[in-house]
């Protein structure tokens, strides 16, 4: 339980050390359309047990050519997601979590309570005891994220934007019963 809490809260509060590729404009579906496997691989690399070095930087803007209109029409819906999922480094995350002064002690404990509650709900869901759906869990997750981001927005915008970029990677950990089980150990 503590491990699960720590992992999720760490990911949520301390994603400031996320090492991501240089920002690629979301409006460029070209890279996603031409490399359909990229996103899945990147999401897998976000697993906490395997911190990895930062990926090679994306090509500079000068090297990119605008996608033809026809290409954007054939791009799958996945193209709307961020072009690259970040790589998470838990050791650096831990340091960031301790260092951040954007959130007070009571607020951190209160958020911990919320994370515990959410993890319990995931546990119920995977055990088949829940009456709610995965969509409900996603809604709860999004709401919790919004609360965290609201708290961080004024004080630590860098951390807030890093959390936004790793939001999907954290969800992927929770939404997969296998990775969730490893978090709960």
Partner 1 sequence: MNTLTRSLTQSLVVAVLFASQVADEEEALKKDLTAVIALHGLPCGQVVAVTELAESDYAASCRDGNKYRVYLNAEGRVVVEERT
64: contact with partner 1 by CB under 8 A = no
C-alpha separations of 54 from 1, 42, 89, 98, 99 in Å? 30, 11, 9, 22, 22
**105 lines the binding site for partner 1 (CB under 8 A):** yes
The answer to the question of residue 7 lying near partner 1 (CB under 8 A) is: no
Stretch of residues binding partner 1 (CB under 8 A), selected from 22-30, 74-82, 103-111, 124-132: 103-111
Determine, following the binding rule CB under 8 A, whether residue 183 of this chain makes contact with partner 1. no
Give the total of residues touching partner 1 (CB under 8 A). 12
Q: Which stretch binds partner 1 (CB under 8 A): 35-43, 88-96, 102-110, 126-134?
A: 102-110
- Minimum CB distance to partner 1 smaller for 52 or for 107: 107
Which residue from 1, 3, 78, 109 is in contact with partner 1, where contact means CB under 8 A?
Answer: 109
CB of residue 67 vs partner 1: minimum separation in angstroms? 42
Nearest CB to partner 1, comparing residues 45 and 110 = 110
Rounded least distance, CB 86 to partner 1, Å: 26
Q: Does residue number 107 form part of the binding site for partner 1 (CB under 8 A)? A: yes
**Three-class SS of the chain:** CHHHHHHHHHHHHCHHHCECCCCCCCCCCHHHHHCCCHHHHHHHCCCCCCCCCCCCCCCCHHHCCCCCHHHHHHCCHHHHCCCCCCECCHHHHHHHHHHCCCCCHHHHHHHHHHHHHHHHHHHHHHHCCCCCCHHHHHHHHHHHHHHHHHHHHCCCHHHHHHHHHHHHHHHHHHHCHHHHHHHHC
Segment 134-163, which members bind partner 1 (CB under 8 A)? Answer: 147, 151
CB of 149 to partner 1, least distance (A): 13
Q: Which of 174, 176, 169 is nearest to 86 (CA)?
A: 169
Interface contacts to partner 1, rule CB under 8 A? 103-107, 109-111, 113-114, 147, 151
């Amino acid at each position: 339980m503590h491990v699960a809490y720590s992992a999720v809260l760490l990911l949520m509060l301390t994603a400031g050390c996320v090492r991501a590729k240089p920002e690629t404009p979301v409006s460029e579906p070209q890279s996603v359309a031409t490399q359909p496997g990229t996103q899945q691989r990147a999401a897998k690399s976000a697993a906490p047990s395997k911190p990895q070095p930062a990926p090679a930087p994306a090509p500079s803007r000068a090297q990119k050519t605008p996608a033809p209109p026809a290409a954007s029409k054939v791009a799958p819906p996945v193209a709307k997601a961020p072009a690259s999922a970040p790589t998470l480094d838990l050791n650096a995350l831990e340091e960031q979590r301790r260092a951040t002064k954007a959130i007070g002690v009571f607020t951190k404990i209160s958020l911990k309570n919320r994370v515990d509650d959410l993890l319990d709900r995931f546990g119920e869901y995977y055990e088949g005891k829940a009456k709610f759906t995965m969509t409900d869990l996603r809604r709860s997750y999004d709401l919790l994220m919004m609360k965290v981001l609201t708290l961080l927005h004024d004080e630590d915008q860098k951390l807030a934007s890093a959390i936004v970029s790793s939001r999907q990677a954290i969800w992927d950990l929770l939404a997969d019963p296998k990775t969730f089980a490893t978090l709960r150990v």
